[in-house]
Structure 1
Amino acid sequence: MDRLSVSGNRPDLQNIMPGGMPGGFPGGGLPPPSPLLEAYQGVYQSISPMPQAMMLDDDDIDHLQPLDNLSPRESRQSVHGRHRAHSRSGRSPSPLPPSKRKDKLALEAYNSSARDPYDPYDPYSDRDRRSNDRKKEERRARVYDAEPDALAIVDALSVRTPDLDTLIDILPLLSHDQMLELRTEYKRHCKVQGRGINIAKHIKLKTSGNFGKIAYVTALGRYEGEGYWANYWYQSNSARRELLIEALMGRQNHEIRAIKDAFRDKRYSDSLTKCMDKELKADKFRKAVLMALEGERQEESDVWPTEYRNRDVDTLYKALKAREGGESAILGVVVMRSDAHLRECLRTYERKYQGSFARDCLRKSNNLVGEVIAHILNGVINRPARDAMLLHHALMDLIEPTSTSTSNARSSRENTSTATAKHERQQRYELLVSRLVRLHWERLHLGRVKAEYEEKYGRMVEEDIEEATKGDFREFCIALCQTGR
């Protein structure tokens, strides 16, 4: 497949036909028209095409290390002391082979390994016990101690001018679970009128600008941060809808449940579903979002019979060939099926109909529905390549602003153009923050994304971040990119 996205050069049908569509009912009680008729210049209509490699044969299994090479997960005592521990299970020794039973050295080695170190009648037991205790202490994985980091951040935020270096040193290095521990510990040490302070809210209060935003979202954790972007989309009134699409679409059921549980907005009783149902206008895009929030997507472990796959392929083909509509049927398959199932559907579609479903679908839906479908299918085909492309998209727009004022334009027009360029540039910062923070929670995946980025664009992610950003914000972004922690 040469590309998944198509250029949005078709005219907006709303400009051609009053009411947005033939036979529309602008004042009636019928649902609003399908977004098929609402052009939307999204990321997948302005982004470079996907790589030639069509599909991955499997999921992430091929990228996993052999079990015998794995060590326990890295743990940290604090930002000032990081250790990696290795542990081995204390198995009982296997029986000595018959050929070795006459070998005195082998027999002695076998007996020493099989000897009970706590046998009081064994002359070597006391010495071996002390030696084993020392080795076990060295091998024991140390759990993360959040207290030193919490105290360091309390000190950093308590001064008039916050010490941003402390936030850069601590926050990007923590896993999601460690971040939750830090948040709990922070409330124990930082209190106002006896009540613990939320570290994310404290960071938001004491910092500003793009640095404040990226530090705040990181402190929210993996899932509350996604709820923030869904919430942020309608609060800002002008943010890119990609923030919402990338936060929710193509997620596993357990991720959707975690995002919904972590969502906080008292106006909607902390219900993300109520929020989206109220804030999004009644169209196919809202239908896709609510469908995803149901959390009833096919699990990756569920393997359906071949006839189910063939039926979905036929459904997709008929929906593409329909003169009107068809988006609901496509969304029903793309949003609700697992990545593995969709991968097989794409292969079957290509064999049966001699075409690319993803490319044909984007020709049909040059709008928000097309953006949803493109995001999910790009992840199905090659998730690391998709995320590398999204990172590059945000960074290049910061390095090369999308709109500039012409020197011979009128003064008022120059001011308008400058304001528009500044607004669009800020939107790109938001896209960069959301994409970078999201990636850093999955370190193995981030490593693959960085490798894909370097292979496709010939530059390291950190190099482009260095060029596109500046100051403390740059340092925080680069710290998020570190995978070997």
Structure 2
Amino acid sequence: MLEAYHGTYQSISPLPSPLALPDDMLDDDLPPLDMPGSFGDGGGGGGAEARERVRFPGGAGLGAGLLSPTTPASAGGGGGARRKEKRAKIYDATEDALAIVDALSGRHVDPEPLVGILPQLSHDQLMELRAEYKRVCKVQGRGINVAKHIKMKCSAGSNFGKIAYVTALGRWESEAYWANFWYQSNGARRELLIESLMGRSNAEIREIKDAFRDKRYGDSLSRCMDKELRADKFRTAVLLALEERRQEETDRLPVEYRNRDVDILYQSLHGRDRSESTMLGVVVTRSDAHLREVLRTYERKYQENFARAALKRSNNLVGEVIAHILNGVINRPARDALLMRHALSDLLDDPPSNPRSSSVAVRPSSSRQDRRQRHELLISRLVRLHWDRPHWARVKAEYRDRYGAHVEDDIEDATRGDFREFCLSLCEAGR
């Protein structure tokens, strides 16, 4: 058995799992998979000031009604409808690269170019910036990696330096950084590892593995996890995710496979041979669409909410993994809004002076170690969200709808200085 682990989902009361499915995904004869007092309440989201919630289909990708680059702005016109010609805007990284060179060349780092440039770039644009930076900034004829330059020039251990560095790594290398970070730090926040790898598609796992850099393990993330993690069920789950054997979302299994998984999950909780490994084998390797059907069928057949029962039974890292994946399966924007709320909740030392931004509950001041770990959670979650801008916009809408406040206001109250400005710039990237 794994030791008890007081992680994100174990520490939140009331129990956040499972979250409510979006309305258009629920069957009429099945109650929402939510829990009174948690996401299902929708507390704090009413009133004249609250925006009407936009409903999106489940899963990743653009929501209904968003225009793709090839969609005309007006789709209702006839053959004579006028269409504006759309031209691709090519990003020129030279000016930004030179601005960051200047910002890092002095005795003291000028934070303004870092705040103004890095959060606004897409992953592809950031890769262009990194290539251009190596061209314009050289030492002894060798180009400098902009992320490493930021890490070298910014104060060691500062939150601003860390968030600028992680953003400069790009979308996939930053995830590899967090997967590799947890065991290098004094803290044991396994959430950093769980959130970087669990519930990912095979293509995303491949990108993260390709971006991983650690010479001690031959740049192999799988080898690193195999050596650094204890030989237990959590390591088995991590290595299983890294094998890239998750069911693709386009794969539709016959109904008997769904029913078999339902029975397997029930036996893993209530059978004679109860098995956390069996639960992980199903949850880690099945697609979001398949797991949604499994959860619906499980509740119909056994009159029990599997996600809630599994988290109650497994008060350890297995429960954390299952809760993270299933909450993302059921409602990913709501799950990520909860994660932002959790990261911010302990960072307010004093009650906010502005009632508008008092939605984050103030708790007693925690130790310096706890605050450092909570800053790491905030940095990892905020940087991760800003890469997927349509999804980030949904998360902010969920946050406002559920907690009655803008996430930007709570971040402003919970952070300080240049770190605050960088965080707020990351929030603007989702607009």
**Shorter chain as normaliser: what TM range?**
0.7 to 0.9
The alpha-carbon deviation at position 363 of structure 1 amounts to 1.5
1:222 lines up with 2:182 in the alignment? no
1:143 lines up with 2:109 in the alignment? no
- 8 Å Cα contact 1:55/1:343 also seen in 2: no
The alpha-carbon deviation at position 51 of structure 1 amounts to 8.1
2:315 maps to what in 1?
A: 366
Distance of 2:96 and 2:104 partners within structure 1: 12
2:223 maps to what in 1?
A: 274
The alpha-carbon deviation at position 52 of structure 1 amounts to 8.2
1:50 lines up with 2:13 in the alignment? no
Q: 1:308 to 1:359 in 2, by over 3 A?
A: same
Aligned pair count reads 380
- Alignment TM-score, normalising by the size of structure 2: 0.83
Distance of 2:407 and 2:117 partners within structure 1: 21
The alpha-carbon deviation at position 44 of structure 1 amounts to 0.4
The alpha-carbon deviation at position 322 of structure 1 amounts to 3.3
1:429 lines up with 2:372 in the alignment? no
The alpha-carbon deviation at position 63 of structure 1 amounts to 5.6
- The unaligned stretches of length 5 or more in structure 1 are 1-33, 74-85, 95-108, 114-134, 402-416
AA of the residue aligned to 1:192: V
**Higher helix proportion, which one?**
1
Between the two proteins, what is the percent identity of the paired residues?
66
Q: What is the aligned counterpart of 2:106 among 140, 152, 159?
A: 159
2:354 maps to what in 1?
A: none
2:42 maps to what in 1?
A: none
Distance of 2:209 and 2:332 partners within structure 1: 23
Distance of 2:212 and 2:19 partners within structure 1: 37
Distance of 1:437 and 1:72 partners within structure 2: 28
1:200 maps to what in 2?
A: 147
AA of the residue aligned to 1:50: P
CA deviation profile, 1:381-438 (whole Å, cap 9, x unmatched): 111111000100110111159xxxxxxxxxxxxxxx99x7110110000000000000
CA deviation profile, 1:162-194 (whole Å, cap 9, x unmatched): 110110000000000001000000000000111
2:243 maps to what in 1?
A: 294
Q: What is the aligned counterpart of 2:392 among 442, 446, 469?
A: 446
Q: 1:142 to 1:247 in 2, by over 3 A?
A: same
CA deviation profile, 1:135-169 (whole Å, cap 9, x unmatched): 96xx4222111111001101110111111011000
2:425 maps to what in 1?
A: 479
Q: 1:295 to 1:309 in 2, by over 3 A?
A: same
Distance of 1:52 and 1:333 partners within structure 2: 17
Q: 1:320 to 1:227 in 2, by over 3 A?
A: same
The alpha-carbon deviation at position 59 of structure 1 amounts to 2.4
1:41 lines up with 2:6 in the alignment? yes
- The unaligned stretches of length 5 or more in structure 2 are 26-56, 351-363
1:391 maps to what in 2?
A: 340
Distance of 1:298 and 1:342 partners within structure 2: 10
- Alignment TM-score, normalising by the size of structure 1: 0.74
Q: 1:475 to 1:364 in 2, by over 3 A?
A: same
The alpha-carbon deviation at position 65 of structure 1 amounts to 4.6
Distance of 1:246 and 1:214 partners within structure 2: 17
Distance of 1:284 and 1:484 partners within structure 2: 37
1:458 maps to what in 2?
A: 404
Q: Map of 1:118-137 to 2, 5 A cutoff?
A: none
The alpha-carbon deviation at position 466 of structure 1 amounts to 0.7
- 8 Å Cα contact 1:450/1:460 also seen in 2: yes
AA of the residue aligned to 1:199: V
- 8 Å Cα contact 2:18/2:308 also seen in 1: no
The alpha-carbon deviation at position 224 of structure 1 amounts to 0.4
1:311 maps to what in 2?
A: 260
For residue 312 of structure 1, give the secondary structure of its aligned residue in structure 2: helix
- 8 Å Cα contact 1:54/1:382 also seen in 2: yes
2:35 maps to what in 1?
A: none
1:187 lines up with 2:134 in the alignment? yes
The alpha-carbon deviation at position 87 of structure 1 amounts to 9.6
For residue 302 of structure 1, give the secondary structure of its aligned residue in structure 2: coil
CA deviation profile, 1:452-477 (whole Å, cap 9, x unmatched): 00111111001100110000000000
1:321 lines up with 2:270 in the alignment? yes
Distance of 2:265 and 2:114 partners within structure 1: 49
1:64 maps to what in 2?
A: 63
The alpha-carbon deviation at position 53 of structure 1 amounts to 5.7
Distance of 1:469 and 1:358 partners within structure 2: 34
Distance of 1:237 and 1:70 partners within structure 2: 45
The alpha-carbon deviation at position 195 of structure 1 amounts to 0.5
Distance of 1:218 and 1:175 partners within structure 2: 10
Distance of 1:230 and 1:53 partners within structure 2: 26
- 8 Å Cα contact 1:149/1:170 also seen in 2: yes
For residue 184 of structure 2, give the secondary structure of its aligned residue in structure 1: helix
AA of the residue aligned to 1:170: I
Distance of 1:191 and 1:157 partners within structure 2: 13
AA of the residue aligned to 1:180: M
Distance of 1:182 and 1:390 partners within structure 2: 30
AA of the residue aligned to 2:111: L
Distance of 1:159 and 1:298 partners within structure 2: 51
The alpha-carbon deviation at position 61 of structure 1 amounts to 7.9
The alpha-carbon deviation at position 243 of structure 1 amounts to 0.3
CA deviation profile, 1:209-231 (whole Å, cap 9, x unmatched): 00000000000000000000011
Distance of 1:52 and 1:375 partners within structure 2: 10
Distance of 2:261 and 2:18 partners within structure 1: 25
- 8 Å Cα contact 1:50/1:385 also seen in 2: no
User: Does 1 or 2 have the higher relative contact order (CA < 8 Å, sep 6+)?
Assistant: 2
- 8 Å Cα contact 2:246/2:285 also seen in 1: yes
